[in-house]
Structure 1
Amino acid sequence: MSRKVRAVLFDLDGTLIDSAPDLAGAANALRAEHGLAAMPYEQLRPMVGAGARGMVGVAFGVAPGEPRFEGLRDAFLARYEQGMLDRTCLFDGMHGLLGALESAGLGWGIVTNKATRFAVPVAEGLGLSPRAGALICGDTTPHAKPHPEPLWEAARRLGHAPADCVYVGDDLRDVQAGRAAGMATLVAAWGYLGAGDSIDTWGADAIINRPEALLNWLKLA
């Protein structure tokens, strides 16, 4: 690390929290309503980072712009909203990591493409809201990731320059947004990672395999 980091920004799903069980459950519940068999969790998990678009795509083979997409998306989101804290939890090691950042005097926040309708209740339910210095959702600013504006807004709310922040995420869009915002970027290799190119090709500053490894990268451990 060649810069002084004063704040750490995290993606939410697949980075801070493991929401895949509830999102996959909503997808399979909707499949059941359509008379389809449940899909294996292993097939659904990688697409969680792509939100409703990804989940409807993998569960029904329907893409945005196709006639069935909007109805399936809205039905999927309604089912997810009914149980979005049933099994969702922080990833192992994340409680300790956040505590270590706070003890070191580093601010931290959340930047997610998840809509406020879902992100705020989840963050509150998991006890993240009182601690996070910023919670930027997919509809907080006019643009969502990979546009840098959500990350700039988080930096503003934390009172730091973008260059003094690092962004940690598990999707290519996270790296693209972080680089465009002028932040160091780290890939959370424990996350969902999508179904595209290898994370080694994303152009991040580093790949970390577990939450505690961030402390080593920050030279706090």
Structure 2
Amino acid sequence: MKAAAGAPGAVLFDLDGTLIDSAPDLAGAANALRAEHGMQPLPYEQLRPMVGTGARGMVGVAFGVAPGDERFEPLRDAFLALYELSMLDRTRVFDDIGLLLAGLEKAGIPWGIVTNKATRFAVPVAEGLGLAPRAGALVCGDTTSRAKPHPEPLWEAARRLGRDPVDCVYVGDDLRDVQAGQAAGMSTLVAAWGYLGQGEPIESWGADGIVESPRALLKWLRLA
């Protein structure tokens, strides 16, 4: 089906915190690693906001270390190894994402995924949740030479979809998503149902819009 006049050429999504709720498994891996070090588990509410920042953020909040600290890389690698064993235990697609994607497909608007999650994690998760077969592009954190907030992954996704970046919309739940989308020349939307980090309020990110739910995104796209 041909897309309606005025519709975006394509819609690109971040993965964690935008299409899928992976926080339970990522938080579980962080607390499992804390247990291995004889530490008590952290409350889920303390871990969830940092999921969008990946292993760096999860190790940071769980152990108080950052890149450059000699403990960081061993902890990061151990965290990722634990996560890889459980990454589809409790992870699920957010409510109404299926409705959103069906709406895009019905309107003839291609969609894709651009994530900083490494291929070894992103592909099995996207396949396991039934997203990979439907996505027109899946660009991971190690697909291109630079990850978000650099625009290169978004340009690659647009190329794979055969669309001009200026005709694309990028939807994400982290400031880096907005920065990457703007640098790529795309319209940007904040998925307010996502993790959102613990930095500046989302209203200050400079996105073209904030959508409270997948249904609201359908309305923003004038598909509902």
| Paired position in structure 2 for 1:38 | 41
Residue 4 of structure 1, CA deviation: 3.9
| Paired position in structure 2 for 1:190 | 193
Runs of 4 or more consecutive aligned structure 1 residues displaced over 6 Å after TM superposition: none
2:26 to 18, 23, 31: 23
2:77 to 56, 74, 77: 74
Deviations 1:41-68 (A, max 9, x none): 0000000000000000000001101010
Q: Determine if the alignment matches structure 1 residue 119 to structure 2 residue 110.
A: no
After TM superposition, the score normalised by the length of structure 2 is 0.97
Q: 1:129 is paired with a residue of what secondary structure?
A: coil
| Paired position in structure 2 for 1:59 | 62
Amino acid at match of 1:202: W
CA distance in 2, matches of 1:215, 1:46: 25
Q: Determine if the alignment matches structure 1 residue 83 to structure 2 residue 118.
A: no
2:182 to 176, 179, 183: 179
Q: Determine if the alignment matches structure 1 residue 99 to structure 2 residue 102.
A: yes
| Paired position in structure 1 for 2:212 | 209
Q: Taking every aligned residue pair, what percent have the same amino acid on both sides?
A: 79
Q: 2:169 is paired with a residue of what secondary structure?
A: strand
* Structure 1 runs not aligned, ≥5 long: none
Deviations 1:106-134 (A, max 9, x none): 00000000000100000000001110000
| Paired position in structure 2 for 1:134 | 137
Residue 214 of structure 1, CA deviation: 1.0
Residue 84 of structure 1, CA deviation: 0.1
* Structure 2 runs not aligned, ≥5 long: 1-5
Amino acid at match of 1:19: S
CA distance in 1, matches of 2:184, 2:70: 36
Residue 209 of structure 1, CA deviation: 0.3
1:144 to 132, 141, 147: 147
| Paired position in structure 2 for 1:158 | 161
Q: 1:110 is paired with a residue of what secondary structure?
A: strand
After TM superposition, the score normalised by the length of structure 1 is 0.98
CA distance in 2, matches of 1:199, 1:34: 35
